């Protein structure tokens, strides 16, 4: 018998008005990720390196964001994969890691297609709620902010833009 979520994968895509090297740096440099992803980012873009995005700097340590996440694999300018966890409002599964992967495709020197995949979902109430949370977060927040960052400028974390579907 196949589990009901056997192939449950979040998939988001966006075309960014920037060359692949600039878009790659946005995902693999802490300072660059802070322009669209989160107010504070620590990234060591090599296998085993940190991949931490802190969204709530006023929260107690351990509840600020993706603390403890790591890079799993890197193919420069092509693919980045990392562990990911659920937000603090899902304490029953927060300690379990899922898997994020970002693929980069240069359409031409000034445009890059970004495909984000997020898998590794368990079954049950908190898993289902976290899946729904991230389906919205990736597609309606993170990817649109990436596009915004290259079209308008860095996100002002005191007044982040209200964006929709990527």
The CATH number covering residue 91 comes to 3.30.530.20
On whether the pTM is more than 0.75, the answer is yes
Residues 117-147 as b or e (16 or more Cβ within 10 Å = b): bbeebbeeebbeebbeebeebbbbbbbbbbb
Question: Within a domain: residue 56?
Answer: yes
* pLDDT score for 48: 97
As a whole number, the mean pLDDT across the chain is 93
CB atoms near residue 98 (< 10 Å): 21
3-state SS, residue 58: coil
How many structural domains compose the chain? 1
> Whole domain around residue 68: which residue ranges?
10-151
Question: Within a domain: residue 157?
Answer: no
pLDDT digits 0-9 by tens, 33-53? 999 999 999 999 999 999 999
pLDDT digits 0-9 by tens, 65-91? 999 999 999 999 999 999 999 999 999
Question: Within a domain: residue 164?
Answer: no
């Amino acid at each position: 018998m196949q589990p009901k979520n056997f192939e449950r994968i979040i998939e988001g895509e966006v075309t960014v008005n920037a060359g692949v090297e600039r878009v790659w740096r946005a995902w693999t440099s802490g300072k660059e990720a802070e322009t669209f992803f989160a107010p504070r980012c620590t990234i060591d873009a090599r296998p085993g390196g940190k991949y931490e995005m802190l969204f709530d700097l006023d929260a107690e340590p351990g509840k600020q964001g993706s603390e403890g996440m790591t890079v799993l694999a890197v193919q420069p300018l092509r693919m980045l994969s990392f562990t990911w966890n659920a937000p603090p409002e899902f304490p029953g599964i927060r300690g379990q890691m899922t898997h994020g992967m970002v693929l980069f495709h240069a359409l031409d020197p000034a445009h890059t297609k970004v495909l984000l995949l997020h898998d590794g979902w368990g079954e049950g109430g908190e898993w289902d709620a976290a899946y729904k949370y991230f389906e919205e977060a990736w597609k309606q927040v993170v990817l649109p902010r990436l596009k915004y960052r290259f079209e308008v400028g860095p996100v002002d974390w005191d007044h982040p833009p209200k964006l929709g579907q990527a």
